Amino acid sequence: MPHQHTAPSFAVIPGSRIAQVVDGRSAELVRLIEDAYRLHGTGGTVNPPSHFLRFPDRPTARIIALPASLGGESGTDGLKWISSFPQNVAAGLPRASAVLILNDPRTGYPYACLESSVISAVRTAASAALAADRLSADRERPARVGFFGVGLIARYLHRFLRESGWSFDEVGVHDLSAEHAKGFTDYLHRYGETGRVTVHDTPQGLIRSSDLVVFATVAGTPHVSDPGWFAHHPLVLHVSLRDLSPEVVLGATNIVDDVDHCLRADTSLHLAEQRVGHRDFVHGTLHDVLTGRLRPPAGRPVVFSPFGLGALDLAVGKHVYDTVRAAGDLLVIDDFFHEMRRYG
């Protein structure tokens, strides 16, 4: 007789509770993301391509489905469903909103729904902070950072860098909106940033004055095209994936989180592949760096382009779920699953 499972329960975890779990735990979460990358690199995840829902009447908007399965001791299956509606910003709403569904790998039943804009920001920031740490291991650690695009992701990334042991002599800020640049500058001062904060009027000014450049924009097509701006060989966290022209990409050492994921959907790297007809300009993955198989050479800019794997969202989401459950704080929806008898 097959093993009998208990009746499934279903919990909802709001963003406010998630923030309580992750706040002040940047170093722990970076280690969690490193473990997930190592698992992915050894075949311990299932991470199919993301699926994009686009709208002919709303060309700037999209909703993305990221299905994944995470193996290991804390294994779970699931799906992140994240929307990007840039016009929300002018209406006073955040650009992105998301939910994360966790599924029981034994039964397939979903057992939790988590607000996921915070989880998405956390896994993105932790991934970038991990890459910055490992990719700067053989070079002088950058002391001048520049943020190109200053929304939620930039704020979390700055926080994760600082809480992971980074300090900066200078912090550069550039955004198409002077209001947003001022808002991010105000955040930096409230956070207690000790580096000198400078708002740059031009992309060139920001990039040339930064040894660590963070791209966190909503750009859909490349808008930075002069390789000469990177002649000082900075470390670039290309989080938003579509800022750099093929010329800039081809002049850099390129590290990705997953080759097949990053070279699709008209990312900068995908456009470079279309330009030259091969992928030889991709030097390796972050897993290669973590395991010592790849050490980026000196004398070139180093660009880390993370597509953002659904398995990373699952790792953070499962950690949050386990933490809230252990604290006895789960908000369980009774009788969420109704038809549980085969014949009524």
150 and 83 within one domain: no
Residue 338 in domain: no
Read off the pLDDT of each residue in 71-83 and give the average, rounded to a whole number.
Answer: 92
Residue 147 confidence (pLDDT):
98
pLDDT over threshold 80, residue 74: no
Percent of the chain with pLDDT over 70: 98
Q: Within a 13 Å sphere around the CA of 258, how many CA atoms are in the beta-carbon half?
A: 24
Strand, helix or coil for residue 15: helix
Q: How many CB atoms lie within 10 A of CB 306?
A: 25
Residue 82 confidence (pLDDT):
97
Are the beta carbons of 45 and 313 closer than 8 angstroms? no
Closest CA to 41 of 286, 239, 307, 294: 286
Residue with more model confidence, 267 or 138: 267
- Give me the phi and psi of 45, to 5 degrees please: -130, 160
User: Which pTM does this prediction carry?
Assistant: 0.94
Query: Per 3-state DSSP, what percentage of the chain is helix, strand, and coil (rounded to 5)?
Result: 35, 25, 40
Residue 310 confidence (pLDDT):
96
Q: What is the CATH number of the domain that holds 130?
A: 3.40.50.720
Residue 320 in domain: yes
232 and 179 within one domain: yes
Residue 2 confidence (pLDDT):
55
56 and 132 within one domain: no
Domain total in the chain: 2
- Who's near 263: CB < 8 A, 6+ residues apart? 256, 269, 270, 273, 279, 282
Residue 1 confidence (pLDDT):
45
Distance CA 74, CA 96 (A): 27
Q: What is the CATH number of the domain that holds 53?
A: 3.30.1780.10
Residue 198 confidence (pLDDT):
98
State which residues form the domain around 74. Answer: 11-119+310-332
pLDDT over threshold 80, residue 219: yes
pLDDT digit string (tens) for 8-63? 899 999 999 999 999 999 999 999 999 999 999 999 999 999 999 999 999 999 99
pLDDT over threshold 60, residue 245: yes
Residue 262 confidence (pLDDT):
96
pLDDT digit string (tens) for 305-334? 999 899 999 999 999 999 999 999 999 998
Are the beta carbons of 311 and 69 closer than 8 angstroms? yes
178 and 86 within one domain: no
175 and 258 within one domain: yes
- Provide Rg for the chain, Cα atoms: 21
Beta strands in 71-185 (DSSP E): 76-84, 96-103, 110-115, 144-148, 170-174
228 and 189 within one domain: yes
Closest CA to 199 of 218, 232, 171: 171
pLDDT over threshold 80, residue 6: no
Q: How many CB atoms lie within 10 A of CB 80?
A: 26
278 and 191 within one domain: yes
92 and 135 within one domain: no
Read off the pLDDT of each residue in 169-194 and give the average, rounded to a whole number.
Answer: 97
pLDDT digit string (tens) for 102-127? 999 999 999 999 999 999 999 999 99
Closest CA to 123 of 308, 254, 284: 308
Q: State the pLDDT confidence band at 298, using cuts at 50, 70 and 90.
A: confident
